[in-house]
Amino acid sequence: MQESTIEFICPVKTNAGVKALDHIPIELKALDAKRPIVITDQHTSNKGLSKYIVKAFKDSGMPFGLYEGVPKTADVKTIRNLSQKFLYKGFDSIIAMGAGAAMDVAKGLNIAVSGKPDDLNLLAGVNKISHRLLPFVAIPTAWGNGFEITRYAFVENKSFTSHFLMPDLVVIDPVLFKAPETQLMASTAMIALTHSLEACIHPNGNEFINAYAHAAIQHIKACLPKALQKPKDKRANMGIGNAAAMAGCAFSNVSPGLVHRLGKAAGSMFNIPSGQCMGIILPYGLEYQITKNESFAEKLFQAVADFDDLAKTSKSTFKQKVLDHIKQFQSEMASLKKNAIPKTLKETDISQNSLPAIAQKAIDNGLSLDKNECIKILTAAYDGKILA
Amino acid sequence: MHIPEYFEFCCRVKTLAGHNALERIPEALTQLNATTPLILTDKGVAGAGLIDIVNQAIQDKVSIGSIEDNIPPDSDLKVVNQLAGVYREKNCDAIIAVGGGSVLDTAKGVNIVVSEDADDLIQFCGAGAIKRPLKPLIAIPTTSGTGSEVTLVAVIADHEKNRKMLFTSYFLLPNVAVLDSRMTLTLPPFLTSSTGMDALTHAIEAYTCLAKNPLSDTHAIAAIELLSNNLLNVVKKPDDKDGRLALAKGANLAGIAFSNSMVGMVHTLGHSIGSVCHVPHGTCMSILLPYGLEYNLHKNADYTAEVLYPLVGPEVYANTPQNQRAEKVITHVRQMNQDLYDATGGRHARCFKEVLNRDGEQMVNPDNFAQIAQTALGDGSIFYNPEELDFDDCMMVLAASWEGTPLDRNKIKKG
């Protein structure tokens, strides 16, 4: 008997594919928006991607503003400048093009202009926002930190958690995914994989969350090998973008899992993309969680396997097959001729004697697991050997 | 997995599901900044004691504006306007709809009127006419079901001017859908079977027709599994609470799937039989589903074959050779209809000649076929069907589904 009430929400509409950008003016009209500001970061504008959004608006005649100066991390000063501009020029909606900081700035801006300016302080924390914000469209163009299409925003030392921060619309257009950045693409894929798989085994997991998580994982299966082999394949890269958005929607309905927390701690301490760390730790973290709860093996296997596999695999081999699946991705990433991606923590800049500090950092940031257990998992990820 | 060149997917409805989900409503209203809901339902739901259950779950924490149970089986413009009047009179600030498709459609209609202060609903017809969030709407389905708690459409009939008004907007979606096993516990077996097959049809058509996408696919597969595993059990044992909850979730997931990927000929013909002969929607779906799959087999057998896994599970799937899986889906659906016929003492019809009205008369007659076929050709859903349908094709399917005989595959024209 299902004991407690399950819950699911996803405010995000997904428009994905060829010419997705061209639909933006109509989508804005449907949200009663007439004058958006487009916010992007220097990296995106340096890649020459701004012209695509300009083109998307040209035929529609919709006026819009363009700000290309978002710095590498979101800061209050940028948000305050933008909010003054926003109110002065009468914008009524926000479009963020890029990743990471551009999305955080957009979310922070939305808080600042939807209520009182001081909301940026008052509404920090969890579920402090109590009403819809202004229409917000997110256009991922690059490889990010996995928080773009989620209910989280990070501005300087503050974090904001609310599903009202999620974009009304995410637009994933292959034309924006042309410059190959294999390591970052792979990192994004691993974040999406981690978020999806951990959502499937979360205590608050349910069929609705799984629908997004499974779709994300299927995109990774279909597109990651191709994107690794052919870095210029726009459709394959776009598939990873889709996976990241769908995983973000699943992730926003649960709390971050073990592998997420360890990966993020390791990445931030050593300035390595957190997705890369998550990807390395993933099989070991999942293996650990399966030993604590056997039922996880089936849930994870259902998420990664296709029907033919599901039909002919016996229960006793579910766990092994899940781990093999992930290790297969790791092998493909490690065997790239250029920009090979490390398979173990040893192959990165991380030293073995810093593993306890990584564990501690993850615990300080909210991971509730015994420190020695964390070190066990990190050690296995360091050596690339199964859990002791 | 099929990734289309371009696709869209959206379901902004918050879902709450459980054996005590109703008790979460006061909190949901607070989060929506609402205090005084108008409860809308129909006499059948009220008569089954379901409004009492809703009341008991929320009355200590919520001051209910009014409870109105006069919604007719077909949503009606006059009733919409009258209920909007009650909303205003009682100073309500939210709507709670408890019922099936027509209650939900009516509630969506009332919401347009009270939110846009509309004198004439006709200005909001069509797609894109509603551009702002409406008043808070909480949907509590009492069948499993139409999925209307997650669809962006509402159909309101204007009987005076003899027209049906269709409204399409993401803003019509309820804010919250509450799936509580108590709401379908007393649904009679023959209604459980037809509404369950309605939901199954939504999921299967969503998965096998032209507008499918990765997200509608995962929702459809989850729906098929929940519905297939539980429908017959619940028809045989109506007080199976876990089963009722599973069906409610399955119908909801099926609604999300089809409203993001359209449907096909089963709905095309089903709508038409419904409008010409007044056969209930679920009954049309149950009967036509295997025919739709047969008719389209040469075009989408691969997708149909995949449906076998959630439909029958790993063992039977593994023991069915790949090139026989699509056929097995068709025979399995026919078997489901047979099992449901047996379990409901013949009330779940297997073919149209078995569909009887309350007086025991046949509701569909071969004389109606031509009119049904004509109507079908004008139904929008026809464009999403994998194979083209012309007048003669419709007549052929109608004749076979009336009699209850499989289609003659040789007669299916391949477009």
Mean pLDDT of A267-280: 95
- Assess whether pLDDT exceeds 80 at residue B318: yes
Closest partner residue to B306 among A5, A219, A307, by Cβ?
A307
Residues A26 and A169 in one domain: yes
Domain assignment of residue A242, yes or no? yes
CATH for the B190-411 domain, from 3.40.50.410, 3.40.1350.10, 1.20.1090.10, 3.40.190.10: 1.20.1090.10
| Domain identity same for A212 and A67 | no
Residue A388: predicted pLDDT:
59
Q: Taking 90 as the threshold, does the pLDDT of residue B414 lie above it?
A: no
Instruction: State the Cα–Cα distance between residues A254 and A205, nearest whole angstrom.
Output: 7
**pLDDT on residue B183:** 97
| CA distances from residue A264 to A194, A240, B21 in whole angstroms, order as listed | 11, 20, 35
Residues A18 and A51 in one domain: yes
Assess contact for B8 and A14: CB atoms under 8 A: yes
8 Å CB contact of B7 and A16: yes
The ipTM, to two decimals, is 0.96
Comparing alpha-carbon positions, the chain B residue that sits nearest to A129 is B31
Chain B residue numbers with beta carbons less than 8 Å from the beta carbon of A218 are 1, 214, 218
State the average pLDDT over residues B201-228: 96
Q: Looking at the structure, do residues A255 and A114 belong to the same domain, yes or no?
A: no
Q: Are residues A162 and A215 located together in one domain of the fold?
A: no
Burial profile A214-234: b = 16 or more Cβ within 10 angstroms, e = fewer:
bbbbbbbbbbbeebbeebebb
Domain assignment present for residue A388? The answer is no
CA distance B414 to chain A (A): 29
Listed residues A176, A197, A216: the one ending a domain: A176
Q: Provide, as residue numbers in chain A, all residues whose Cβ is less than 8 Å from the Cβ of B1.
A: 218-219, 221-222
Q: Tell me the per-residue pLDDT of A118-174, one tens digit each, with 9 for 90 and over.
A: 889 999 999 999 889 999 999 998 788 899 999 999 999 999 999 999 999 999 999
Residues B76-93, mean pLDDT to the nearest whole number:
95
- Do A224 and A134 lie in one domain? The reply is no
Residue A367 main-chain phi, psi, to 5 deg: -75, 120
Scanning chain A, the segments in alpha helix (DSSP H) are 24-30, 42-46, 50-58, 76-89, 101-114, 119-122, 182-200, 207-229, 234-251, 258-270, 274-292, 295-304, 307-312, 318-334, 355-364, 371-383
- CB neighbour list of residue A165: distance below 8 Å, 6 or more residues apart: A107, A110, A111, A129, A133, A151, A152, A153
C-alpha A375/C-alpha B150 separation (Å) is: 45
Instruction: Report the percent of chain B where pLDDT is more than 70.
Output: 100
Q: What is the pTM of this model?
A: 0.96
End of a domain among A176, A203, A236? A176
Mean pLDDT, rounded, for A15-31: 95
Contact, A300 vs A200, CB < 8 A? yes
Q: What is the CATH number of the domain that holds A79?
A: 3.40.50.1970
Domain boundaries, chain B: 14-183, 190-411
> Is A2 domain-assigned?
no
Q: Which of B10, B16, B134, B252 to mutate to test the interface with A (most CBs of A within 10 A)?
A: B10
> Do A138 and A189 lie in a common domain?
no
Q: Assess if residue A24 is contained within a domain.
A: yes
How many residue contacts between A and B have a Cβ separation below 8 Å?
Answer: 119
Please tell me which of B143-152, B224-233, B258-267 the model is most confident about, judged by mean pLDDT: B224-233
Element counts in chain B: helices (H) and strands (E): 14, 10
From A142, A176, A210, give the residue that closes a domain: A176
Neighboring chain B residues of A199 at a CB cutoff of 8 Å: none
Task: Give the rounded percent of residues in chain B with a pLDDT score beyond 90.
Answer: 82
Contacts of A223 (CB under 8 A, 6+ apart): A235, A236, A237, A238, A239, A240, A243
pLDDT for A1: 59
Residue A292 has pLDDT above 80, yes or no: yes
What integer is the mean pLDDT of A83-95?
A: 96
- Arithmetic mean of pLDDT over chain A: 94
Please tell me the predicted confidence (pLDDT) of residue A2.
63
Q: What CATH number does residue A376 fall under?
A: 1.20.1090.10
**What confidence tens digit (pLDDT) does each residue in A298-349 have?**
999 999 999 999 999 999 999 999 999 999 999 999 999 888 999 999 999 8
pLDDT, tens digit, for every residue of B149-176? Answer: 999 889 898 888 888 888 988 999 999 9
Pair (A199, A158) in one structural domain: no
Instruction: Tell me: do A95 and A239 sit in the same domain.
Output: no
Angstrom CA distances, A378 to A54, A357, A363, A370, stand at 46, 11, 13, 13
Residues A262 and A349 in one domain: yes
Q: Which of B4, B131, B249 sits opposite A17 (nearest CB)?
A: B4
**Contact yes or no for B218 and A210 at CB 8 A:** yes
Report if residue A336 sits inside a domain.
yes
pLDDT on residue B397: 96
Same structural domain for residues A152 and A245? no
Average pLDDT of chain B to the nearest whole number = 94
| Residue A27 domain flag | yes
* CATH fold for domain B14-183: Rossmann fold (3.40.50)
Residues A131, A228 within the same domain: no
Say yes or no to pLDDT of B58 above 90: yes
pLDDT given for residue B257 in this prediction: 97
Residue A40 belongs to some domain of the structure: yes
Query: Total domain count for chain A?
Result: 2
Give the domain extent around A18. 13-176
